[in-house]
Each structure stands twice: as structure tokens, then as C-alpha cells.
Structure 1
Amino acid sequence: MPRPIAPPALTVLRMLHDGPMHPYEMQQRIRQHAYDRAVKITHGSLYHSVERLAAAGLIEPVETGRAGRRPERTVYAITDDGRDAARLRMTELLAEPAEEFPLFGTALAFVNLLPEDEVARHLRRRQVALETLLAADQAVYEVLGKQGFERYKLIDHELALTRRRAELDLVRDLADDLEAGRLTWSGGRERE
């Protein structure tokens, strides 16, 4: 069974769905559409994904050229197999919940390694950081909306905002409960 298409590779296929382009243009469009807020994609992972997709026959070079003193650029197009692979991966991602292990969940699982007052202080710091991130996420969402992006191009941002709000609510509630003594543990040891 072949490995599933990773998010950076799916991003490349998404970019090429609109038409042939070279990786630098993909990078620019990823930033313009703020896809880099939904997918962790670096310059290196983008180029690596392009190489792997080309080797797998999911994209193909359609032209190579040089403009002035700039480096040679290869323009790629998605193949029929690439379209099929993207559709299959999208079906999996949309229909099948995947188990994810966020680091904050790890910290919450082992919260009793620290004293309650220290945890409350750290959670209050996290609360401030989350409030800042939420404001930034909301601003990006609103700017993209004002630029005329249709809602279907913004639903990943809606998910990010919803998750950020939910985490902020949880962090605020946990800190409140710790400070009020409604959430406690004794000495950091689990009971048998």
C-alpha cells in the first residue's frame, strides 16, 4: 500500500489543480491564500514534495525556462493520476477522523507533575498568548473575506478559529478552577 499523500504534497496538487506553475509561484500563492496557516509547509518541504510527486507520476514538468539571470525554472502540471490521488486523499481526510496528538494534550495528561499554582501561572500565560493568536487569526480571516475570498476558501480558517476559541475557553476555565481550588491533585503522584 503506498504512503498517503502528506499535507505539503496535497498542497502542491491543490496549487496545480488551478493550472501549471513553477514551485516559486506555488510558494507565493500559498502565502496569498494563507494556506500556510493550515499546512506546515516550508521552502524545502515544497520542493521535496514537487520532486516526490514528479517521481511518482502525479505531476509532470511541462516546460523549463530561464528569465534573464534568474535560475532555471521548471513549470509543472498535475496529471490525471495526480488528480485521482488528490481526490482519494481528500475523501480520506474529510470522511475519516484521524487520531492526532497535540503537544498541549500531552502536557494536560501529565499536569500533576507540577504544583497547582505553577500550572495556573503557565495556563494564564498561555491564555494571553491564545488571545493574541485568536485576534491575529480573526484579522487574517476578515482580511481574506474583504479581499473577496469565497467562504469555501476560508473554512480551514473557520476550523482554526473554532479550535483556538475552544482551547482558550478550556485554558481559562482550568486556570480559574486551579486558582479557586476546585481542581487539585496531591503531591504529583498517581493513586494506585
Structure 2
Amino acid sequence: MSRPLTPLALAVLRLLNEEPMHPYEMQQRIRDYSIDQVVKVAHGSLYHTVERLAGQGLIEPVETTREGRRPERTVYAITEQGRDEAYSRLREFLRHPAQEYPIFDMALSFLKMLPPEEAAQLLDRRTVRLEAQLAAHDTVLTNLAKQGLERVSVIELELCNARLRSELEFVNAVSEDIKNGRMTWRPHDRRNGENNDK
């Protein structure tokens, strides 16, 4: 194996572990199962990932069909090597916390660049968006539960919602602390020759 499986590659192998399918069907299932909520799926990246997995022998074409004037569709199946790699990578992801670099964490570390009033306003706007995301995720979870999916099939969405709730509570608290003067600073602004707060 030349390099570790990416999350998207693992998602493809997970889908093919259920049954053979073509990339368009994988794309549909990724949306239907809300996998795109936990795995970044950029335009064209799925097809590139499928090609790479096939080149590595982790999946293999089992059928090619054509309907009318549509382009050929190749159905892929997971190989034994692919199944072994998927299980190995999944175990690694579960066992070892990875160092991640969330953008919001970075933005908070630079908060002192802004005046406190502006920072509080921006955090308040973030809470509105977080509330909307949380409501949307709750709706998705409710709908998936109505479809009879087992909890283990939506556990990643539960974690996503728990993170959203936690972030929402934290952002609200920080915004309130700024507005009530419990958290203060003077922004550093070299344009005006200021170096107020290090």
C-alpha cells in the first residue's frame, strides 16, 4: 500500500463492502447516508478516488453497462485486499486521535486582532448559523430514524450534533463574557503605531 487510505477512500470501500455499485450510485448513497456531513467530497474527487483504489487493487470492475446514449457505467466491487485495508484504516482512525487543525480554533487564537465589540457581533452571527445547522442535523437524524436505521448507522451524526451543541454553548458563553466585560483586550494595530496588548 503506497499511502494510507483517505477518509473518502474509506467511505468508498465502506459502500462497496455492502454491495457492488458504480460511482454515480456511490455519490447518491453518500448523500442519502449523510456521509458528506463527515467526509469532504469535492467535485470530481469521488471518481478520482475510485480510479486510485482500482489502480491499487483495492476495488475491481465487475460489470460495465450502458443505457441508451448515456456513457458507460462501470460497477466496482471491493477486493479482499481492499476489505483488509479498510478494516485496518478504520481501526487506526478509531484508536488514534489525529491532530486536526479546525479553522474556528485558529480564528479564536487570533481573536485579539479584532475589537471586542466586533468579535462579539461575529460570534453572535456564528450562533445563528450553528443553531440552523443543529436544527437541520436534528431533522436528518429524525428522518433517518423514521426510516428504521439502527443507531450505529447514524452514530457519526450524533457526534456531529454533540459537537454543534457544545460549540454553540461555548460561543454563546464567550460572546456574553465579552459583552459583559468579563473578557477584555485592546487590539494590536500596527497601522496606527499601537502595540497595546501583547
Aligning the two structures, in what range does the TM-score lie when normalised by the shorter sequence?
Answer: over 0.9
1:136 counterpart = 2:136: yes
AA partner of residue 71 (structure 2): P
Aligned residues: 191
Report if aligned partners of 1:27, 1:43 keep a CA contact under 8 Å in 2.
Answer: no
The more displaced of 82-91 and 60-69 is 60-69
Report the aligned-residue RMSD. Answer: 1.2
AA partner of residue 87 (structure 1): Y
SS of 2:76 mapped into structure 1: strand
Residue 25 of structure 1: how far off its partner (Å):
1.0
CA distance in 2, matches of 1:158, 1:2: 33
SS of 2:178 mapped into structure 1: helix
Report if aligned partners of 1:62, 1:76 keep a CA contact under 8 Å in 2.
Answer: yes
Task: Give the aligned partner of residue 180 of structure 1.
Answer: 180
Runs of 4+ in 1 over 4 A off after TM superposition: none
Residue 2 of structure 1: how far off its partner (Å):
3.0
Residue 190 of structure 1: how far off its partner (Å):
4.7
CA distance in 1, matches of 2:62, 2:139: 38
- The alignment's TM-score, normalised by the length of structure 2, stands at 0.93
Task: Give the aligned partner of residue 84 of structure 2.
Answer: 84
Task: Give the aligned partner of residue 50 of structure 1.
Answer: 50
Listed as ranges, the gaps of 5+ residues in structure 1 are none
- The alignment's TM-score, normalised by the length of structure 1, stands at 0.96
1:187–1:73 distance in 2 versus 1, CA, 3 Å: closer
Task: Give the aligned partner of residue 29 of structure 1.
Answer: 29
Q: How does 1:1-192 map to 2 (within 5 A)?
A: 2-188=2-188, 189-191=196-198
Report if aligned partners of 1:137, 1:161 keep a CA contact under 8 Å in 2.
Answer: yes
AA partner of residue 180 (structure 2): A
Percent pairwise identity:
55
Listed as ranges, the gaps of 5+ residues in structure 2 are 189-195
